[in-house]
């Protein structure tokens, strides 16, 4: 499979849209967790999102195959991209601040670059990619600010869980490459169905004594937004981006999420944008530019022409 080293304008647009959709999930989870246990939220997220995707697939005349060869790789994707990271992150955030968790999550592109070097033939590491990821990670740390590092002495197991979640996300991005010949709708629907089947026994095991009760309207709306917007729509974008731009470029969304969160706060909540946020976003922009590589290649060609 051929993967473009540089993303098109459409790819960048989809990546930014995904960062907005996934950035909003933190708000939805924050509201829902006030009334629902985390495993229940994860189960509702994949079940409702999966139902919506299967319904859309059915209305469009698409049927999910009933073969082991089709479902086995989908199940692996569900484990790497949903079951492992979502449960690890949910548990870890009971021990560490959300800002520190975001910094750990932003390590996903670094893991992706390193893993892609070993596991792929067409997404090899370059100096620009590695430098760009490091710049982007530094930008996220600056953007979130020193307050996030207040949890740096927190439970080492929680920090290890966050690193494991980032590694799992990176592996899932590379694994998703094998679905490039499948319609994104079918892949996303299958992933949510498999995640739902696995989350049912996990939820029963983690919250055995929980008694269901009707949550309030804010919680219901938050869960629906989390399932339909952040999950169903979000994963349609995921498989489109992987198919056209590759796993490394998809992982850049973890660098963009803090940026969109800050900008949404400025636009929607009338929050102020301080100098630290500006420096952080500038570092992230430099990192993304280095990873994209087009400007560097143009400068290199211009220098070669100038010395010829």
pLDDT at 196: 97
> Which stretch, 30-34, 66-70, 74-78, 176-180, has highest mean pLDDT?
74-78
- The answer to whether residue 278 scores a pLDDT higher than 70 is yes
Interatomic CA distance for residues 278 and 253, integer angstroms: 18
Arithmetic mean of pLDDT over the chain: 80
Residue 113: which of 242, 293, 248 has the closest Cα? 248
How confident is the model at residue 152, as a pLDDT?
A: 54
What's the average model confidence in pLDDT over 167-178?
89
Distance CA 87, CA 39 (A): 7
Q: What pLDDT score does 296 carry?
A: 55
Is the pLDDT reported for residue 169 higher than 60? yes
Residue with the bigger pLDDT between 277 and 65: it is: 65
Residue range 151-176: average pLDDT? 82
- Between 291 and 171, where is the model more confident? 171
Residue range 217-238: mean pLDDT, rounded: 91
Q: What percent of the chain has pLDDT over 70?
A: 81
Confirm if 143 and 277 have CB atoms less than 8 A apart: yes
Rg for the chain, CA atoms, rounded: 20
**Overall pTM surpassing 0.85 (yes/no):** no
**Tens digits of per-residue pLDDT, 20-68?**
888 777 678 778 878 888 899 999 999 999 999 999 988 988 888 889 9
DSSP letter, residue 252: T
Tokens of residue 287, six digits = 């990192």
- What pLDDT is recorded for position 18? 92
**Per-residue pLDDT for 79 more than 80?**
yes
For residues 291-307, average pLDDT: 58
Q: Give residue 257's pLDDT.
A: 79
| pLDDT tens sequence across 199-221 | 999 999 988 877 778 889 989 99
The pLDDT score that the predictor gives to residue 205 is 92
**b vs e for 112-151, b when ≥16 Cβ sit within 10 Å of the residue's Cβ?**
bbebbeeebeebeebebbbebbbbbbbbbbbbbeeebeeb
Q: Is the pLDDT of residue 86 over 80?
A: yes
């Amino acid at each position: 499979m051929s993967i473009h080293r540089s993303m098109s304008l459409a790819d960048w647009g989809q990546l930014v849209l995904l960062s907005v959709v996934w950035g909003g999930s933190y708000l939805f989870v924050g509201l829902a967790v006030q009334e629902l246990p985390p495993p229940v939220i994860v189960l509702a997220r994949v079940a409702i999102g999966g139902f919506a995707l299967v319904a859309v697939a059915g209305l469009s005349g698409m049927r999910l195959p009933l073969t082991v060869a089709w479902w086995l790789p989908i199940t692996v994707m569900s484990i790497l991209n949903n079951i492992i990271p979502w449960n690890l992150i949910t548990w870890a955030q009971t021990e560490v601040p959300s800002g520190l968790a975001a910094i750990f999550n932003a390590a996903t592109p670094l893991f992706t670059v390193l893993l892609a070097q070993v596991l792929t033939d067409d997404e090899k590491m370059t100096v620009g990619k590695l430098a760009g990821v490091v710049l982007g990670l530094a930008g996220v740390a600056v953007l979130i600010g020193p307050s996030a590092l207040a949890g740096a002495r927190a439970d080492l197991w929680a920090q290890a869980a966050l690193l494991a979640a980032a590694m799992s996300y990176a592996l899932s991005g590379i694994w998703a490459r094998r679905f490039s010949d499948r319609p994104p709708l079918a892949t996303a629907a299958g992933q949510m169905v498999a995640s739902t089947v696995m989350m049912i026994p996990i939820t029963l095991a983690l919250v055995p004594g929980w008694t269901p009760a009707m949550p309030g309207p804010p919680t219901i709306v938050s869960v629906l937004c989390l399932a339909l917007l952040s999950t169903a729509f979000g994963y349609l974008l995921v498989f489109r981006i992987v198919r056209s731009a590759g796993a490394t470029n998809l992982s850049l969304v973890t660098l963009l999420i803090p940026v969109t969160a800050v900008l949404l706060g400025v636009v929607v909540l009338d929050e102020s944008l301080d100098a630290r946020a500006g420096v952080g976003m500038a570092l992230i922009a430099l990192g993304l530019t280095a990873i994209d590589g087009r400007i560097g290649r143009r400068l290199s060609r211009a220098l070669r022409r100038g010395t010829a």
